């Protein structure tokens, strides 16, 4: 679940995007807002002072428990696809995030006893990292995919360069840099760097350490700490039924839904009165599946294998199975006999057929790309890498 769950769309520099909601605070906490824009907040009609020096902002004073009218104004300083989050945290420090900084970049960290955290650096350009004046490493410089605007990330074990007491961390770069781990980049660095609010994709994808997730009910995904269970509601709204379109996988035999209210399933439509409190789970068995991309066959975000099986009638003798186009590795068996494995084109296999009925199986295995992209949005899954499956056409040639 991406942390930035408020989607404002494309917003030009200097334009406003607004969010208005009834916020129910369960216990005393601080309002945290993350967005690539300048932020102004009103609570019950009164402006709420913020510490807003970059992407992440936090209220200067705590919120009282109870129901409040929350109004948020976002104004970016450059055109971007503006996404944001708002939540209530138990401690103001929970709102802090690494910030993109530029210009002179230097800070001090006090080292105690080992072991020490690694130093992770993401950069948009060539970058040199120094600890106490000694070079820890370099990154960037050559980027064959510059138009994709993807930061380069590297982790540094700098334990051999640290000394007891104060240590100076310096980053030299002509671009923007985000640092996490041993030190965290931000406006507080002693060199007073510039801060850029705009992020790259889901900001959490470039963090070394996990921070409390802004959505309280996201904890079922990985068990990590989340923000306080504050709730948002449309002013004047009443309970209503939300409808979702199910995309069932082949061979589905059942559906399990966790929800806070009544659930009704009619065909491929799921109706929920209330809210989903967990994932929608399918139980499956053997089923029928057309050739093509798994993403379009009810297996979106699936990494693993699919075994295709069919029966054909043929005379005894040699033959060739041509699978056509395949995305993944493929193994063909005929009547239980393996005919080989192919990892790239041409996906052709020499086979020996028995007289009469022959069972042909094709096992296609994909990569981790769909799963990684689904559970943790990443910059490193490119268009087309989620595509997996047996596309065909599949042909059997005999003498």
| Among 4, 52, 7, 54, residue whose Cα is nearest residue 31 | 52
The tally of CA atoms less than 13 A away on the side-chain side of residue 225 is 12
Per-residue DSSP letter, 187:
T
Q: Give the pLDDT of residue 69.
A: 96
CB 47 within 8 A of CB 70: no
284 near 253, Cβ under 8 Å? yes
Write the CA distances from 345 to 69, 143, 289, 370, integer angstroms.
Answer: 60, 29, 23, 21
pLDDT at 141: 74
3-state secondary structure of 270: strand
Q: Determine the 3-state secondary structure of 371 from DSSP.
A: helix
Q: Is the pLDDT of residue 149 over 80?
A: no
Query: Per residue in 28-83, pLDDT tens?
Result: 999 999 999 999 999 999 999 999 999 999 999 999 999 999 999 999 999 999 99
Please report the pLDDT score of residue 277 as a whole number: 82
For the beta sheet containing 263-266, the strands, ordered from the edge strand earlier in sequence to the opposite edge, are: 241-245, 269-273, 263-266
List, for residues 289-336, the tens digit of each pLDDT value.
999 999 999 999 999 999 999 999 999 999 999 999 999 999 999 999
Q: What is the mean predicted confidence (pLDDT) over 163-188?
A: 95
Mean per-residue pLDDT for 13-34?
A: 96
DSSP classification of residue 296: G
SS3 assignment, position 294: helix
Determine the pLDDT at residue 275: 80
Q: Long-range contacts: 44-47, Cβ < 8 Å, 24+?
A: 44/68, 44/69, 45/69
Greatest Cα-to-Cα distance within the chain, rounded to the nearest angstrom: 85
- The token pair that represents 278 in the structure block: 């967990």
- Tell me the pLDDT tens digit for each residue of 231-276: 998 888 777 899 999 999 999 999 999 998 899 999 899 999 888 8
Window from 105-114, 214-223, 305-314, 349-358 with minimum mean pLDDT:
214-223
pLDDT of the residue at 368: 93
What number of other Cβ atoms are within 10 A of residue 25's Cβ? 21
pLDDT value, residue 336 = 96
H helices of the chain, in order, are 219-222, 369-375
The residue to which tokens 């494995």 are assigned: 341
pLDDT over 80 (residue 220): no
Q: What are phi and psi of 195, to 5 degrees?
A: -120, 130
Share of the chain above pLDDT 70, in %: 97
Contact, 307 vs 389, CB < 8 A? no
- In the predicted model, is pLDDT for residue 176 greater than 90? yes
- Return the ∠ at Cα 234 (arms to 229 and 236), rounded to 5°: 120
Q: Which residue has the higher pLDDT, 190 or 236?
A: 190
- 265, exposed or middle or buried, with CB in 10 Å at 0-12, 13-18, 19+? middle
Nearest to 100 by CA among 36, 27, 26, 169: 36
**Confidence class for position 377, pLDDT limits 50, 70, 90:** low
Closest by Cα among 84, 167, 184 to 132 = 167
């Amino acid at each position: 679940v991406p942390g930035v769950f408020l989607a404002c769309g494309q917003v030009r520099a200097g334009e406003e995007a607004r969010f208005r909601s009834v916020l129910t605070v369960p216990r005393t906490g601080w309002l945290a807002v993350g967005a690539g824009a300048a932020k102004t907040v009103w609570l019950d009609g009164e402006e709420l002072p913020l510490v807003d020096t970059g992407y992440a902002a936090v209220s200067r004073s705590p919120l009282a428990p109870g129901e409040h009218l929350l109004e948020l104004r976002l104004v970016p300083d450059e055109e971007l696809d503006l996404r944001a989050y708002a939540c209530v945290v138990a401690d103001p420090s929970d709102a802090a995030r690494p910030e993109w900084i530029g210009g002179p970049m230097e800070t001090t960290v006090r080292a105690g006893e080992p072991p020490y955290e690694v130093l992770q650096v993401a950069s948009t350009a060539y970058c040199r990292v120094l600890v106490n004046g000694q070079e820890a490493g370099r990154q960037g410089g050559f980027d064959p995919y510059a138009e994709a605007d993807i930061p380069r990330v590297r982790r540094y074990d700098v334990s051999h360069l640290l000394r007891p007491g104060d240590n100076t961390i310096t980053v030299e770069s002509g671009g923007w840099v985000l640092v996490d781990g041993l030190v965290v980049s931000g406006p507080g660095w002693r060199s007073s760097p510039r801060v850029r609010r705009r992020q790259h994709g889901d900001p959490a994808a470039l963090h070394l350490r996990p921070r409390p997730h802004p959505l309280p009910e996201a904890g079922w995904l990985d068990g990590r700490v989340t923000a306080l269970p504050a709730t948002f509601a449309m002013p004047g709204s009443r309970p209503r039924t939300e409808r979702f379109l199910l995309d069932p996988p082949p061979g589905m035999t059942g559906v399990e839904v966790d929800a806070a209210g009544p659930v009704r399933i009619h065909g491929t439509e799921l109706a929920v009165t209330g809210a989903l409190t967990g994932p929608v789970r399918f139980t499956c068995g053997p089923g029928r599946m057309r050739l093509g991309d798994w993403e379009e066959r009810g297996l979106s975000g699936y990494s693993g294998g699919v075994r295709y099986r069919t029966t054909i009638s043929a005379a005894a003798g040699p033959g060739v199975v041509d699978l056509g186009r395949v995305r993944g590795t493929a193994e063909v068996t005929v009547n239980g006999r393996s005919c080989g494995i192919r990892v790239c084109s041409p996906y052709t296999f020499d086979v020996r057929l028995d007289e009469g009925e022959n069972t042909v199986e094709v096992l296609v295995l994909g990569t981790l790309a769909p799963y990684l992209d689904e559970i943790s949005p990443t910059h490193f899954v490119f268009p087309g890498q989620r595509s997996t499956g047996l596309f065909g056409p599949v042909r059997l040639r005999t003498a």
